[in-house]
Amino acid sequence: MTQAVASDQAQEIRESVKEQWGFVPNLVEQLVVSPETARLYLEGSEIVAGGVLTDEEQNAVKLAVSSANGCDYCRSAHRALGRQAGTSKDDLERIDAGGLPADERLASLVRATRLVVDERGWLTEDHLRALEVEGIDRRQLYEIVSLVALKTISNYVNHIAHTEVD
């Protein structure tokens, strides 16, 4: 791909994001350096948004991943988005600090997320049984894996670029 084609694709992505969100976040400005990476992240996020986890639940997972990865940019974004999704400020602070939210469902999802991240996906039968007891089935678990993958893309890009929080 030529630099001109990549530049045209980057501009198309910026325009699409601005149309949808009303502005182009600094993260997107970094992602469009590689239009393919930007598309993977944005389109993947759109696909997973239609999954079984609610917006609030997905955001709790994303905050847990971003906290584990130490991404200040995404942690800030997911604390704000979490409030918009209905999560209490206290629960968001607990997740961000490595604790568990008071909300039992969110706590189960955060535990599952941290287990996936800590074990790098190598979950044992005992892990899987414990997750099932907490109401986390394979579909939800695989959605968590998808969110971990997507957040790792944005977290690592932000680490490399030292992206300034909007």
- Supply the pLDDT for residue 4: 60
User: For residue 161, how many other CB atoms are within 10 A of its CB?
Assistant: 15
- Is the pLDDT assigned to residue 2 strictly greater than 90? no
Token output for 85: 């999704």
- Is the pLDDT assigned to residue 164 strictly greater than 60? yes
- Is the pLDDT assigned to residue 152 strictly greater than 60? yes
- Supply the pLDDT for residue 162: 97
Alpha helix locations (H) across 69-137? 72-85, 89-96, 104-119, 125-133
Query: pLDDT grade, residue 135 (50/70/90)?
Result: very high
Distance CA 144, CA 151 (A): 10
- Contact 31/38 with Cβ under 8 angstroms? yes
Cα distances (Å, whole numbers) of residue 61 to 25, 39, 91, 92: 21, 21, 12, 11
Please give the model's pTM, rounded to 2 decimal places: 0.93
pLDDT in tens, 47-70: 999 999 999 999 999 999 999 999
